[in-house]
């Protein structure tokens, strides 16, 4: 039996946050870095099925193709893979999303994670030394553009990044087109992207279309009862929705936290901050509310495994 209040409450709002995180949320709303001007509704109380249909019909989770960028971008866009991401990957069966949360530690979920047809990990999350808890398989690794751009983060040097299909995302201004984004990316990733591609030409390395992030943001906002942070969704949610587009079923580990919930930010670092689980810059609490609503498994499974089961979007009847 699970005690009341021990599993993520999908109706949480900013008043449930620690005062410091409430202030951080207001701060990001005030600076509105990406010039978000949302015109739609919010506080929609849609059925899980309707939310899934919104994710399928309104979020085009695509990677950028060379031909979509202006000629001025060719010095880096010429290094995008020729073969499309969809074609490269095809359709997958059971997929696993491994969040980087501290609650992955001591989970012993490694074997279960490895039993999936494909596994996605994020940013600097290692498998080496943590196999029992997070598994060994890495099919995809989704990176933020900061990790690619800042030399102290060792993206070019660390061999961890050389397994699996790499994907990177970088935020544009709200609803900017690709030409505008190319002129004003969040991080200047071009040089190091080119360098990595020249060093590892055989490894597929795609870039997510920044418009996908804002389409997803709109769906989170529409289904939240109050104004969310005007910043792009976390890498974790991008990975979840990406896999929902590729796989028949997606199991997500420790995005919605289990009984092992902790303020330890990542399973691989001794750094503690509630913001990593509840959100500061990213609208992470609202992302988790949404994913909890879509869970096809039960609360017991969340409580013990931190596991949420989501359907693929291809098989949906909308
Ligand atoms: O911190 P980082 O973005 O690399 O972590 C990968 C993803 O794991 C996050 O984007 C977030 O979705 C998820 N995460 C979480 N709770 C944490 C740490 C990470 O939900 N404590």
Tell me which H or E stretch contains 219: helix 210-222
Evaluate whether 218 touches 37 at the Cβ level (below 8 Å).
no
Return the pLDDT at 116: 98
What is the C-alpha to C-alpha distance for residues 41 and 26, in angstroms, rounded to an integer? 20
Tens of pLDDT, residue by residue over 7-48, are: 999 999 999 999 999 999 999 999 999 999 999 998 889 999
The residue whose C-alpha atom lies closest to atom 11 belonging to ligand 1 is 236
Return the pLDDT at 167: 98
Domain ranges of the chain: 14-311
| pTM reported for the whole predicted model | 0.98
| 306 C-beta closer than 6 A to ligand 1 | no
- Give, for ligand 1, the residue of 98, 122, 284, 288 to mutate: max count of ligand atoms closer than 8 Å to Cβ: 122
Q: What is the dihedral of CA 230, 101, 99, 22, to 10 degrees?
A: -20
- For residue 2, what pLDDT band results from cuts at 50, 70 and 90? low
Mean pLDDT on 257-272: 97
Return the pLDDT at 42: 87
Mean pLDDT of the chain: 97
Phi, then psi, of 313 in degrees rounded to 5: -85, -15
Instruction: With H, G, I as helix, E, B as strand and everything else as coil, classify residue 214.
Output: helix
Return the pLDDT at 5: 66
Return the pLDDT at 220: 98
Return the pLDDT at 1: 61
| 97 C-beta closer than 6 A to ligand 1 | no
| 276 C-beta closer than 6 A to ligand 1 | yes
Which of 4-8, 109-113, 271-275 has the lowest average pLDDT? 4-8
Residue of 56, 80, 39 lying closest to 208 (CA atoms) = 80
Q: 98 pairs with which residues across the strands?
A: 253
Q: Per CATH, is 14-311 categorized as 3.30.830.10? A: no
| 100 C-beta closer than 6 A to ligand 1 | yes
The residue whose C-alpha atom lies closest to atom 3 belonging to ligand 1 is 235
Express as a percent the part of the chain with pLDDT over 70. 98
Atom of ligand 1 nearest to the CA of 122: 6
Instruction: With H, G, I as helix, E, B as strand and everything else as coil, classify residue 179.
Output: helix
Q: How far is the CA of 70 from the centre of ligand 1 (A)?
A: 33
Residue of 122, 97, 110 lying closest to 245 (CA atoms) = 97
Tens of pLDDT, residue by residue over 69-94, are: 999 999 999 999 999 999 999 999 99
Residue 4 has pLDDT above 90, yes or no: no
Atom of ligand 1 nearest to the CA of 264: 21
| 14 C-beta closer than 6 A to ligand 1 | no
Q: How far is the CA of 201 from the centre of ligand 1 (A)?
A: 29
| 265 C-beta closer than 6 A to ligand 1 | yes
What is the C-alpha to C-alpha distance for residues 235 and 216, in angstroms, rounded to an integer? 12
- For residue 3, what pLDDT band results from cuts at 50, 70 and 90? low
Return the pLDDT at 44: 87
Atom of ligand 1 nearest to the CA of 235: 10
CA 221, distance to chain mean position in Å, is 16
Instruction: With H, G, I as helix, E, B as strand and everything else as coil, classify residue 93.
Output: strand
| 268 C-beta closer than 6 A to ligand 1 | no
Mean pLDDT on 214-232: 98
Give every CB contact of residue 170 below 8 A, 6+ residues apart in sequence: 144, 145, 181, 185, 186, 187, 189, 207, 210
What is the C-alpha to C-alpha distance for residues 119 and 98, in angstroms, rounded to an integer? 7
Return the pLDDT at 195: 98
């Amino acid at each position: 039996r699970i005690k009341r209040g021990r599993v993520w409450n999908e109706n949480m709002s900013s008043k449930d946050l620690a005062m410091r995180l409430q202030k951080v949320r207001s701060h990001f709303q005030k600076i509105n870095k990406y010039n978000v001007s949302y015109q739609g509704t919010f506080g929609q109380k849609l059925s899980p099925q309707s939310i899934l249909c919104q994710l399928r019909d309104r979020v085009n989770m695509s990677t950028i193709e060379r031909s979509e960028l202006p000629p001025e971008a060719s010095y880096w866009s010429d290094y995008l893979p020729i073969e499309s991401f969809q074609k490269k990957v095809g359709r997958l069966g059971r997929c696993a999303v491994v969040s980087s949360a501290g609650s992955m530690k001591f989970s012993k979920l490694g074997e279960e994670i490895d039993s999936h047809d494909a596994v996605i990990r994020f940013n600097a999350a290692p498998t080496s030394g943590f196999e029992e808890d997070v598994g060994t398989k890495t099919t995809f690794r989704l990176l933020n553009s900061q990790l690619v751009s800042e030399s102290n983060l060792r993206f070019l040097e660390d061999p961890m990044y050389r397994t699996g299909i790499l994907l990177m995302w970088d935020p544009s201004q709200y609803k900017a087109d690709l030409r505008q984004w190319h002129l004003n990316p969040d991080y200047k990733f071009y040089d190091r992207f080119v360098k990595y591609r020249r060093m590892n030409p055989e490894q597929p390395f795609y870039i997510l279309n920044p418009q996908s992030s804002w389409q997803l943001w709109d769906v989170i906002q529409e289904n939240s009862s109050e104004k969310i942070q005007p910043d792009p969704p976390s890498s974790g949610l991008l990975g979840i929705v990406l896999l929902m587009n590729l796989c028949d079923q997606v199991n997500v580990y420790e995005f919605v936290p289990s009984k092992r919930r902790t303020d330890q930010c990542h399973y691989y670092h001794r750094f503690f901050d509630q913001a990593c689980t509840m959100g500061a810059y990213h609208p992470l609490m609202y992302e988790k509310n949404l994913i909890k609503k879509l869970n096809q498994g039960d609360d017991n499974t969340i409580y013990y495994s931190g596991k949420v089961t989501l359907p693929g979007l291809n098989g949906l009847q909308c």
